[in-house]
Amino acid sequence: MKTQTFLKNASLALLGSAILWSCNNAKNPENSAENKNTDDVTVDRFADIQVLRYQVPGFDELSLERKLFVYHLSEAALSGRDIIYDQNYKHNLRIRKTLEEIYTKYEGDKNTDAFKQFETYLKRFWFSNGIHHHYSETKMIPEFTKQDLANFMNNSKAAEWPLWATDQDMKSYIDWLTPILFDPNIDGKRVNKDEGVDKIVASAGNFYENVSEAEVVQYYDIKTDKNSKEPLSLGLNSKLVKENGSLNEKVWKVGGMYGEAIAVMVSHLEKALPYAENEEQYKALSLLIEYYKTGSLKTWDEFNIAWVKDVKSSVDLIHGFIEVYHDPIGLRANYESCVQIDDVEASARMSTVSANAQWFEDNSPILPEHKKKEVKGVTYKVVNVAMEAGDLAPSTAIGINLPNAEWIREKHGSKSVSLGNILEAYDKASAGSLTDEFCYTKEEAARAKEHGSLSGKMHTALHEVIGHASGQMNPGITKSNMGAYGSTLEEARADLVALYYIYDQKLVDLKLIPSLEVGKAEYEGYIRNGMMLQMRRLKMGENIEEDHMRNRQLVASWVYEKGKAENVIEKKVKDGKTYFVVNDYAKLRVLFGELLREIQRIKSNGDLTAAKTMVETYGVKVDKSIHQEVLDRVGKLSLAAYSGFVQPKISLEMNGDKPKNVSIEFKEGFAEQMLRYSKNYSFLPYIN
């Protein structure tokens, strides 16, 4: 599971918080990228997005063998780039090629408003890995016109046309492409979880073809071994299609779907294998290679078990089809990869959290039968990212806890990481916040500024290490029993564990926080965000689709409603502005515990009816009047709603046929990097 950035209150970038900054970068940052000091964090700014860069502390101190390991793992990561585009939408690769050909070869005036709007759209497309918004899931409609599109295409004569099928010419291709880009009713949502719709048919993601939600559910119900204590993650690495009346899984493996890209990934993993740091890492990497060659989900589980046991390696890899957030019913996973270097000192400072995992489990407010008698193999590290790809780029998580299979977590444990250099980059980019605008009192704002950064870090640590590792399922129950609601409830459960303990004296006694003022800051910030601030990421009239956003609103609105009788959280209006004020922190903690107990009960029992009621009642619909107010108030501040990253450029230097050095650079601009990636890592056909 991933902890993503979201809106909160502090003046610094927060773990578990949105990063909202203003920036004063040059009008054409791509053109001046090579003249920038590499310590400059902001690379580009367009629409409501800013692109940052991160440094990689510790890379220069690695041995040549470790650097070679990082290099080949990074190449393996980037080699799967095409996969995420195609998973997000079946026409994304062809659209990307079309847009990039126009961008580089248009022969008209590139200083017009129309072409500048085109450039902004292309950058948004790159940022979201396709035509649908990376967070809201809705199609991004261009600001340039349909006529502009035709003009751009007709006047890019040196482009690599044709990009169309044999039965098309330029005019028919333009006629085909135009509604895909401009009509919001055609494939309008990558993920559609609206109540009452067929979530498979209504979603534009490329995980299914010619099948209905009912057919998918029935197909996997038949295949599921309900008595297995080690259930396979069915559907995780395939596309399900109906052909000639029969359902068939197109497995993502060498020789299968996405085979061209996966074969290149495997070649780099094989080149990395000789540089594995120890036997545990060698075994895990060997199993990952076997998994990609066979597509066996049993081998995937064996890899995850071996990966969890490797706790000593200084360089580690997250790689695979992992998170199911973008499957409307939570079965199939997007490709992602993260190459990471252990920050030994920071990891040692935070080891207290994982060392006390059993205490946290024993003292949890969940029902006794849902507690783990023995919490196994929980590890927590602070790492520095060296490369991210797939669903982790350009927009990234800030904390990751894996593996996702419940039985592996219960039997073998899990690994949690916080991405230290990503957070440092967010901190450096900070130039403003929403603290003063949305805090009701000066005392609340001061608490946010003093304790907000630490409270966010502790929330993420507790969320990833304790939250996702806590609780247990009843026999025969898996996350798939929760259908479309599983990811939302799992994120809510982990958040609630963090919220329950961050206001516990135990954290002070363990010297993890200086006082319970840190917990107060987290409670206030979480309620502000869940009740108001995160709404700025939605357009008026939209429901919440993204699981992390659903989770946060669910938690905040549930405790607000349940605490009304005792005025635990009070809605106040001052000077026409709305605020949600925490009046009783101790009682709010009790409410967090009660909700945690109920969500764990729902999950442990596989209570789909209760899951649906919980999420649909509290996590989906937004208060339109509050939503409009948030948009108006935040709009005056000119802050970027979203942040993402360019990756470092890691290059291999050879001396004849022997590796001489591996260098790392931080000068590349956003468009420059995206075009280089398309040139060097496009392994899948873009005409399907």
pLDDT digits (tens, 9 = 90+) for 77-131: 999 999 999 999 999 999 999 999 999 999 999 999 999 999 999 999 999 999 9
Inform me whether the pLDDT recorded for 514 exceeds 70. Answer: yes
Tell me, yes or no, whether 571 lies in a domain.
yes
Tell me, yes or no, whether 23 lies in a domain.
yes
CA atoms within 13 A of residue 552's CA, in its CB half-sphere: 29
Identify the residue with better confidence: 4 or 631.
631
pLDDT at residue number 433: 67
All residues at 6 or more sequence positions from 575 whose CB lies less than 8 Å from its CB, including other chains: none
Alpha carbons 282 and 576: distance in angstroms, whole number: 62
pLDDT tens for 234-286 read: 999 999 999 999 999 999 999 999 999 999 999 999 999 999 999 999 999 99
Tell me, yes or no, whether 197 lies in a domain.
no
Mean pLDDT of 15-21: 28
Tell me, yes or no, whether 357 lies in a domain.
yes
Q: Look at strands 378-390 and 334-342 and give their pairing.
A: antiparallel
Burial class (CB in 10 A: 0-12, 13-18, 19+), 147: exposed
Alpha carbons 198 and 574: distance in angstroms, whole number: 43
Coil, strand or helix at 372: coil
Tell me, yes or no, whether 363 lies in a domain.
yes
CA 267 remoteness from chain centre: 26
Q: Minimal CA–CA distance to 645: which of 338, 324, 325, 326? A: 338
Q: What is the length of the chain?
A: 688
Tell me, yes or no, whether 121 lies in a domain.
no
Tell me, yes or no, whether 679 lies in a domain.
no
Q: Minimal CA–CA distance to 317: which of 266, 377, 236, 386? A: 386
Q: What are the structure tokens assigned to 238, written together?
A: 């395939």
Q: Which domain holds residue 468?
A: 2-57+343-644
CA atoms within 13 A of residue 98's CA, in its CB half-sphere: 28
Contact 328, 73 (CB under 8 A): no
Secondary structure (H, E, C), 195-227: CCCCCCCCCCCCCEECCCHHHHHHHHHHHCCCC
Reported as a pLDDT band with limits 50, 70 and 90, residue 638 is confident
pTM of the model: 0.83
Domain count, the chain: 1
All residues at 6 or more sequence positions from 356 whose CB lies less than 8 Å from its CB, including other chains: 506, 510
pLDDT at residue number 25: 28
Coil, strand or helix at 653: strand
Contact 438, 579 (CB under 8 A): yes
Output the DSSP codes for 385-439: EEEEEETTSSS-EEEEEE---HHHHHHH-EEEEEEHHHHHHHHHH----SHHHH-
Identify the residue with better confidence: 10 or 430.
430
Inform me whether the pLDDT recorded for 18 exceeds 90. Answer: no
For all residues of the chain together, what is the average pLDDT? 91
Region for 6 from its dihedrals, namely left if φ exceeds 0, alpha if ψ lies in -120 to 50, beta otherwise: beta
Alpha carbons 126 and 85: distance in angstroms, whole number: 9
Tell me, yes or no, whether 158 lies in a domain.
no
pLDDT at residue number 14: 31
pLDDT tens for 640-666 read: 889 999 999 999 999 999 999 999 999
